[in-house]
A and B are shown apart, each in its own frame.
Chain A
Amino acid sequence: MPSGALLFQSVLLGLLLGGLYALLASGLTLYFGIMRVVMIAHSAFLILAAYLAWYLHEQAGIDPLLSMIVTVPLFFGAGVGLQRLLLTRLRPATLTMMSVLLTFAIALLIEGLLGYAFTGTQRRINLGYGSASIEVFGARIAVVKLIAFVLAVVALSALYLLMKKTRFGWALRATIQHRDAARLLGIDTDRVAGFGFGIGLATAAIGGTALSLDTTIYPSLHWHWIGPLMAIIVVGGLGSVPGAAMAALVLGMAQSLLQIPLGTTWAQTVFYVALFATLAIRPQGFFGGRLAQRF
C-alpha cells in the first residue's frame, strides 16, 4: 500500500501533467472541430517549439519563457498558412484521410529537419532554477513544473475567453457547429478556419516552451505525445474543447496515480485503454456533442 505522502505527491504531479495535456489537446481538438482534420503534426510543432526554446537558450542565454515572443506569432502564421495554402487544396470528399497523411508528412519533415540540424542526441535546458522546488503540505512541487502548469492555465483561460466573449470566438464556434449555416449568416468561414488553425498552432508553441523547461527533448519525441493527445480528444469527444480539457485532466491524473502500482511504462497505456473503451462503448466521446458521432 503506497503511503499517503506518495499518493498526495502523485496527485500533484498528475494535476501538473494534466494541465499541460489539456492545453495541447485543446489545440488538437480545435483543428478537428474546424475542418475535420486530425492534425498529426501538432505534437511535432510542439517539439519544434521546445527545440527553438532550447536553441535560443543555448546560443543566446535567453530564458525559454521569452522565446515565446518569437514562437507564438511565428506558429500562428504557420497555422494560418498551413490551412489556407495546403489543406484547402485537398479534395473535400477524401479530406479527412488525405489531411491525416499530409499532416503526417509535415510531422516527418519537422522530425527529419530537427534531426538534421541538432542530431538525435537528447537535449535539455540547464536552468538555474531547474532543480528548485516548493514544499506544499509535505509534498514537493518543482518550480519548472509549476511554471509550465501556470502557462497552460493562462493559455487555456485566454482561449476560453476568446471563444466565449469575442465576436471572433462566436464566429469560430458557429463554424465548428455548422459550417454552411455559418457561411449563410455572413461569416467568412475560410478566414475563420485559417485563424482557428493559427490559434491551434499557437497553443503548440506555448506548450512546447512549457515542455522545454523540464523535459529532455529529441526529434522523435513527438510520437510519444501525439498518441495520448489523440486518445484524449476522442475520449473528450472530437471537436469539443471543454471535453478535451476535462479528459486531459482525468487521464493525466490517472496516469500519474497508476505509476505507483504499475510503473511508468504500463501507466502510459491508460490513454489507449481509454481510447479503445470509448470507441467500443461510446464512440462520440464522453463530453462531446453529436459532431463526433459521424467521424
Chain B
Amino acid sequence: MLNASRVLKISAVVLLAVAILAFPSLAPNPYILSAGVLVLNYAVLSTSWNFVGGFTGYISLGHGALAGLGAYGTGLLVAKGGLPPFLALFVGAGLVALLAVPIGFAALRVRGASFVIVSISLVLILLLVFQSWASVTGGSRGLVVPRPFDLSRPEHHRVFYYLFAALLAVALLAWWLIDRSRFGLGLKSIREDEDKAEALGTATFSYKLIVFVVSAGFTALAGGMYALWFGDLDPVFQFSILTGSYLVLMALLGGVRQLFGPVTGAIIVGVALEYFKVEYGDTPLHLVATGLLLALVVLFMPDGILPAIGDLLKRFDRTQRSSIREVTAAELREQRLTEANGAAR
C-alpha cells in the first residue's frame, strides 16, 4: 500500500530525473549547458564520496585527489598509451581502485583523525608528484587530453551531459543496492558504533576497505569522464583540496544518509557557485561563502537538508491523519531504527 509520503518521494525522484534529462534542450546557451555538465560532475563525485562518508561516517577530504588520479589516469592512457578514450576511462578507474587498496589500508587501520590526515595528505602528495614528475604527467604545463569525438563545442557538451547523467544513475543504483544489503547494514553499524560492531563480529576493517575501494572507483570514473570532457588537466586544479571540500559540503548539506542527499547538495552548491561566478565574477569570496556554509551545516544541520524537509513533511502528514496509524512492518522497523539511532546519539 502506498502512503502519501512515499508517493511524494517517488514523484520527487521522477521529477528530478525528468528535469535532469530535459535540461539540455531547455538550456538557452552553451555556457549554461557546460555549467550543467559541471553540476552533474559534482553530483556523481559527491554520490561517490557518500559511499564512504554516508555508510561508515568516515569523512574523507581527499576524494578530490582520487578524481584527479582518475582524470590523469584516463588522460595519460589516451594521450600517451594510445588507448581508445572510453576503454582508457574504465582501465584508469580500475587502476585507481587498485591503488585505493594500499591507501585504504594505511588510512583505515586507525580511527577517525588519522583517516582525515591521510586523506588530506593524499591530495598534497599527489599534487607534488604530478607537478614534479613532468616527464610523464606534463608537470605544471598540464596535460592535453585528445577529444573523443569530433564535435562542435555545444554538441560536445550535450553528449557529455548525458554521459554524466548515465554515470550518476549507475552510482545511485549501486548506493541504493548497498544500502539495502547486509553489507550496507554492517557498514552502518560501523558508523553508529565501531567498537560494538567489531565486538558483534562485523569484519569492520575489510568492510571499510571494500567500500573505500568502491567509492574510489566511482570517483575515478567521474574524474576520467571530466578529463575526456574538459580536455586540459592541470595538477593544481586536479589535486585541489577545495574539490574535496566541495564534495563534503554537498553531501552534508543534502544529507549523507539519503540516497539523493549528495545529488541535492551538488545541485544547490553547484548552481550557487556558477550563479555567483556569473553575477559577481571570480573573487575569493567563494571561499568565504563555502567556509561559512560548511561551518553552519556542521554546527546546525549535520544531518542535511533532505531529512529536515522530511521531518517537516512528516509533521504535516501527522496532523492530516492523526488517528490512522498504517505502516508496514518494514517501515516500522525503519522508524524504530531511526529512533534508536537518534537515542544512541
Q: Residue A98 contacts which of B128, B289, B298 (CB distance < 8 angstroms)?
A: B298
Residues in A with CB closer than 8 Å to B174 are none
Q: Residue B285 contacts which of A93, A112, A268, A276 (CB distance < 8 angstroms)?
A: A112
The smallest C-beta distance from A237 to any residue of chain B, in angstroms, reads 11
Closest A residue to B300 by beta carbon equals A89
Contact A90 B287 (CB under 8 A): no
Contact A279 B288 (CB under 8 A): no
Residues in A with CB closer than 8 Å to B109 are 279-280, 283
Contact A113 B59 (CB under 8 A): no
Does chain A have a CB within 8 A of B110?
A: yes
For B59, B110, B113, B294, which residue has the most chain A Cβ atoms within 10 angstroms? Answer: B113
For A100, A102, A106, which residue has the most chain B Cβ atoms within 10 angstroms? Answer: A100
Contact B288 A295 (CB under 8 A): no
Stretch at the interface among A2-10, A32-40, A141-149: A32-40
Once the chains are docked, how many angstroms separate the CA of A111 from the CA of B120? 17
Residues in B with CB closer than 8 Å to A275 are 117-118, 121
Contact A97 B294 (CB under 8 A): no
Contact B112 A97 (CB under 8 A): yes
Binary contact track A268-295/B, C-beta < 8 Å → 1, others 0: 1101100110011001000000000111
Does chain A have a CB within 8 A of B292?
A: yes
Binary contact track B302-324/A, C-beta < 8 Å → 1, others 0: 10000000000000000000000
Contact A280 B113 (CB under 8 A): no
Q: Residue B121 contacts which of A91, A108, A231 (CB distance < 8 angstroms)?
A: A231
Once the chains are docked, how many angstroms separate the CA of A269 from the CA of B290? 29
Stretch at the interface among A127-135, A153-161, A222-230: A222-230
Once the chains are docked, how many angstroms separate the CA of A272 from the CA of B116? 14
Once the chains are docked, how many angstroms separate the CA of A111 from the CA of B291? 9
Binary contact track B114-140/A, C-beta < 8 Å → 1, others 0: 101110110011001101100000000
Residues in B with CB closer than 8 Å to A91 are 302, 345
Contact A283 B114 (CB under 8 A): yes
Residues in B with CB closer than 8 Å to A227 are 120-121, 124-125
**Within A1-46, which residues are at the interface with B (CB < 8 Å)?**
32, 36, 38, 40
Once the chains are docked, how many angstroms separate the CA of A223 from the CA of B122? 12
Interface of B is mostly: helix
Contact A280 B106 (CB under 8 A): yes
Closest A residue to B296 by beta carbon equals A105
For B58, B109, B120, which residue has the most chain A Cβ atoms within 10 angstroms? Answer: B120
Contact A94 B57 (CB under 8 A): yes
Does chain B have a CB within 8 A of A116?
A: yes
Contact B125 A230 (CB under 8 A): no
Contact B295 A106 (CB under 8 A): yes
Once the chains are docked, how many angstroms separate the CA of A293 from the CA of B294? 29
Contact B132 A115 (CB under 8 A): no
Residues in B with CB closer than 8 Å to A265 are 128, 131-132
The smallest C-beta distance from A120 to any residue of chain B, in angstroms, reads 7
Contact A223 B284 (CB under 8 A): no
Does chain A have a CB within 8 A of B286?
A: yes
Does chain A have a CB within 8 A of B328?
A: no
Once the chains are docked, how many angstroms separate the CA of A263 from the CA of B107? 28
Contact A276 B298 (CB under 8 A): no
Does chain A have a CB within 8 A of B39?
A: no
**Within B47-100, which residues are at the interface with A (CB < 8 Å)?**
57-59, 61
Known A97-B59, A227-B124, A276-B106; judge A108-B131 contact (CB<8 A): no
Does chain B have a CB within 8 A of A104?
A: yes
Residues in B with CB closer than 8 Å to A102 are 294-295, 298-299
Contact A105 B295 (CB under 8 A): yes
Contact A112 B59 (CB under 8 A): no
Once the chains are docked, how many angstroms separate the CA of A90 from the CA of B301? 11
Does chain A have a CB within 8 A of B283?
A: yes
Once the chains are docked, how many angstroms separate the CA of A265 from the CA of B124? 11
The smallest C-beta distance from B104 to any residue of chain A, in angstroms, reads 11
Once the chains are docked, how many angstroms separate the CA of A40 from the CA of B119? 12
Residues in A with CB closer than 8 Å to B110 are 279, 283, 293-295
The smallest C-beta distance from B141 to any residue of chain A, in angstroms, reads 14
Residues in B with CB closer than 8 Å to A104 are 61, 245, 294
Closest B residue to A108 by beta carbon equals B291
Contact A272 B121 (CB under 8 A): yes
Residues in B with CB closer than 8 Å to A234 are 114, 117
Contact A269 B287 (CB under 8 A): no
For B57, B61, B125, B285, which residue has the most chain A Cβ atoms within 10 angstroms? Answer: B125
Does chain B have a CB within 8 A of A266?
A: yes
Contact A101 B59 (CB under 8 A): yes
Does chain B have a CB within 8 A of A107?
A: yes
Known A109-B288, A223-B241, A295-B110; judge A279-B118 contact (CB<8 A): yes
Does chain B have a CB within 8 A of A64?
A: no
Once the chains are docked, how many angstroms separate the CA of A215 from the CA of B111? 36
Residues in B with CB closer than 8 Å to A294 are 110-111
A/B interface sample: 27 pairs, CB < 8 A: A90-B298, A91-B345, A93-B345, A101-B294, A102-B299, A104-B61, A105-B290, A105-B295, A107-B291, A108-B288, A109-B295, A111-B284, A112-B285, A112-B286, A114-B284, A224-B124, A226-B120, A231-B117, A269-B125, A269-B129, A272-B121, A272-B128, A276-B118, A279-B106, A280-B105, A280-B106, A280-B109
A-B residue pairs, 6 tightest by C-beta: A115-B284, A112-B287, A108-B291, A112-B288, A109-B291, A227-B124
Q: Which residues of A contact B (CB under 8 A)?
A: 32, 36, 38, 40, 86, 89-91, 93-94, 96-98, 100-102, 104-109, 111-116, 120, 219, 223-224, 226-227, 230-231, 234, 238, 263, 265-266, 268-269, 271-272, 275-276, 279-280, 283, 293-295
Given contact pairs A108-B291, A112-B284, enumerate 9 new A-B contacts (beta carbons under 8 Å): A93-B345, A98-B302, A101-B294, A112-B289, A238-B114, A275-B118, A276-B106, A280-B105, A295-B112
